Amino acid sequence: MNKDQLGLEVQSEFNLVKDRSVFAGENFAIRFCRSKSKSFSNTVLALSKLQKYDRKPFIVCLVTPDTNYLLLANSTYLKKISHSSQELRVDNIKGSFNGSDIMREFEGVQNEPSNFEYLFTTHENFTFQENLQRLVTATNNIHPHGHKFVPNIEQLRCIRESVDRAIQFMNSNEYHILNEDLSTRVNKVSNEIAIAAFINNVNLRGRIIEYLITEEGNLQAALIDALHDKKPLPPIFTSDELGDYTRLFEHYLTETDIKTKVLFLSSNPKGYNIDKLLKFLSQENSVYLIYIIAIDAQKSISTQLCSMYNDQLRNNTRIIRHWAGRNSRGVTQYDGVALERIVTHFNNTISIPGSNEYIETLISL
């Protein structure tokens, strides 16, 4: 069966709409390409066209004489833009990507159907605009902005002491005060959080819930009004800080990142920027925490505040170096199933040797 026949078969089977070279449905879009072998360099699609479908799995089906191969080709999994890309800028989306521009492996995970769910939930953590910036840099060989955080001797000492600080904080009265503070904030907007959990856009959903919990002014009121009355949401701007909620105690400076896990949806949330984390931990008294909010299909909400060094979390934190660029140590990503377990079966264990090894790994990147 040639690629045109296969396209018509798939279109009929899944009730897809043909949009020039793309077949699109509610849950995915697919482009069929032909090649003599698994390795192909043909032009696949214009980047501007991919933008239209980038919020759903975008699959490339490579039809060869012997076997058909499937690749996930959302913007996160493009190395660069190869064809007619001379004028590509963040404010001028030009050019197309070739088959050779699609990653066959992402951070040790093969780009194949058995891994598509994981790969797409990873892709959902990044906006098209973020990936566009990365592609512009890679395509035009631009020297990336920003610099790795290079700690001095005193800062290194403070970073390495962060493991002991975390353990002390988790066993302190301040931990219970912070946990109660966050729980009270969640309870005040629990109805709105339950509504926001059903927003399809994972980035927007997370930002709305974070704002509902941490904001107490006009923006929070506008969000509550919009969610209840199904009005357009107000503009939400993210400052791209390390955490969402800062609280200063007499002996601790805490930064807490709020992570939402909708239990009936598959997701692997983005973690922290490693350079920003190290810069924060280089401060005296600094403690970095994760506050997990889990929402089930009945709109029931459960929460858990834990240290970044918690064994359940640390052992399920993946380092993603691909996306961040050459002047960065990268970012992290959490295993979604592990976040669920932390909420439902929390074990407040922090391995000192394991945590020391982990922070040394981050420093050495």
171: Cβ contacts below 8 Å, ≥ 6 apart: none
The average pLDDT across 30-50 equals 92
The number of residues making up the chain comes to 365
pLDDT at 99 over 60: yes
Which pLDDT does position 337 carry in this prediction?
Answer: 94
CA 265 – CA 338 distance, rounded (Å): 14
The three-state secondary structure class of 201 is coil
pLDDT at 202 over 90: no
The model's pTM: 0.83
User: How sure is the predictor about 90, in pLDDT bands with cuts at 50, 70 and 90?
Assistant: confident
Percent over 70 (pLDDT), the chain: 93
Which pLDDT does position 325 carry in this prediction?
Answer: 56
CA 103 – CA 75 distance, rounded (Å): 10
Which pLDDT does position 195 carry in this prediction?
Answer: 84
pLDDT at 112 over 80: yes
- Following CA atoms 84, 87, 88, 92 in sequence, which dihedral angle do they give, to the nearest 10 degrees? -120
Q: What is the mean pLDDT of the chain?
A: 90
pLDDT at 267 over 90: no
Which pLDDT does position 85 carry in this prediction?
Answer: 66
User: How sure is the predictor about 142, in pLDDT bands with cuts at 50, 70 and 90?
Assistant: low
User: How sure is the predictor about 40, in pLDDT bands with cuts at 50, 70 and 90?
Assistant: confident
Spatial contact of 226 and 232, defined as CB atoms under 8 Å apart: yes
Give the pairing of strands 331-334 and 245-248: unpaired
User: How sure is the predictor about 88, in pLDDT bands with cuts at 50, 70 and 90?
Assistant: confident
* Domain spans of the chain, in order of start: 3-9+18-139, 153-364
User: How sure is the predictor about 201, in pLDDT bands with cuts at 50, 70 and 90?
Assistant: confident
User: How sure is the predictor about 21, in pLDDT bands with cuts at 50, 70 and 90?
Assistant: very high
Which segment, 36-40, 216-220, 252-256, is predicted with the most confidence on average?
252-256
User: How sure is the predictor about 208, in pLDDT bands with cuts at 50, 70 and 90?
Assistant: confident
Which pLDDT does position 199 carry in this prediction?
Answer: 81
Q: Dihedral sign for Cα 302, 304, 310, 314, please.
A: positive
User: How sure is the predictor about 18, in pLDDT bands with cuts at 50, 70 and 90?
Assistant: very high
pLDDT at 149 over 90: yes
Amino acid, res. 298? Q
What pLDDT digit, counting tens, does each position of 63-86 carry?
Answer: 999 899 999 999 999 999 986 667
CA 172 – CA 32 distance, rounded (Å): 58
CA 90 – CA 133 distance, rounded (Å): 6
Choice between 6 and 38, residue whose per-residue pLDDT is larger: 6
pLDDT at 305 over 80: yes
pLDDT at 5 over 80: yes
User: How sure is the predictor about 230, in pLDDT bands with cuts at 50, 70 and 90?
Assistant: confident
Low-confidence winner among 29-33, 126-130, 299-303 (lowest mean pLDDT): 126-130
Which pLDDT does position 177 carry in this prediction?
Answer: 98
The average pLDDT across 167-183 equals 98
Low-confidence winner among 101-110, 136-145, 155-164, 348-357 (lowest mean pLDDT): 136-145
Choice between 197 and 123, residue whose per-residue pLDDT is larger: 123
Which pLDDT does position 247 carry in this prediction?
Answer: 97
What b/e sequence results for 234-273 when a residue is b if at least 16 CB atoms lie within 10 Å of its CB, and e otherwise? eeeeeeeebbbbebebeebbbbbbbbbbbbebebbbbbbb
Which pLDDT does position 91 carry in this prediction?
Answer: 87
Choice between 113 and 66, residue whose per-residue pLDDT is larger: 113
In terms of Cα–Cα distance, which of 241, 275, 243 is closest to 145? 275
Give the pairing of strands 22-24 and 29-34: antiparallel
The three-state secondary structure class of 258 is strand
